[in-house]
Amino acid sequence: MATVKGKSQPHGGIVRIGCYEIDRTIGKGNFAVVKLATHMYTKTKVAIKIIDKTQLDDDNMKKIYREIQIMKMLKHPHIIRLYQVIETERMLYLVTEYASGGEIFDHLVAHGRMNEREARKKFKQIIAAVSYCHSRQIVHRDLKAENLLLDASLNIKIADFGFSNYYNQNCCLKTWCGSPPYAAPELFEGKEYSAPKVDIWVIN
C-alpha cells in the first residue's frame, strides 16, 4: 500500500490525496466518508473511501484489511474496481472506480420501475458478478439495492465488500451481518450458515 500525505485546507478539509483532487462527498458511513475525486493528470473520476483508523477497534481494522484484500482479488465488469490503497498513520484511502449512475435504489425512485427487458439485463449482470465471487470462494453478505451501483451506461457495479469474507465449501460461517430487510433468515437465528446461500437468498 502506498503511503502519502494529503494536502489540507486551513479548516481541515482535505483538498488533495496523492494525485487526486477532492471534489464533494458522495457517501457517508459510521467510520468512513466517500468523496468524488479527479486524477490530476488523467482527469479520471474516482470515488475515495476515507477511513479514520483511530475510530476503529482491532476487529473492525481486520475487517477493513480483509475488504481490501478481497477487492484486490476481484476483477469483473460488474464489480467496482479497487485502483489504489493509500495509507497514513491515522487514515486509509481506498481509491475505487466511480459509478456515475449512482445507486440503483435512487435510480428506481427517480425513474420508477424498470421494464422487463431492462430488469432482465441487470439481473443477469448481478448473477454474473455474484457467481464470479463464489467461484473464488468469496461471499458478499450485504447485497442490497443501496450496494448495487450503475455506471454511465447504466450497467450494474456491485459495491461495498465490508461484510464480505472467504469461505470453504465444506464449512459454514456463523457471523451475523448484513441488512435486516434483505438478509437471509438464518443470519438472524444465530446458527451456522452456508455462505453462498445467503447471497442467493437476496438475489431471489
Beta carbons within 10 angstroms of residue 151's beta carbon = 17
Among residues 32, 36, 102, which one has the least CA distance to residue 63?
32
Distance CA 150, CA 101 (A): 4
Distance CA 69, CA 200 (A): 23
Q: Are 146 and 165 in contact (CB under 8 A)?
A: no
Cα four-point dihedral sign 95, 97, 101, 106: negative
Q: Residues 142, 151, 160, 199: which is the catalytic one? A: 142
CA 183 from chain center: how many Å?
Answer: 17
Rounded to 10 deg, the angle between the 195-203 and 116-135 helix axes is 170
Q: Are 195 and 139 in contact (CB under 8 A)?
A: yes
Backbone angles phi, psi at 163, to 5 degrees: -100, 5
Among residues 129, 94, 97, 110, which one has the least CA distance to residue 18?
94
Verify whether residue 142 is a known catalytic residue. yes
Residue 63 assigned ligand-binding role? no
Binding residues: 49
Summarize the annotated binding site for ATP as residue ranges: 49
Catalytic residues: 142
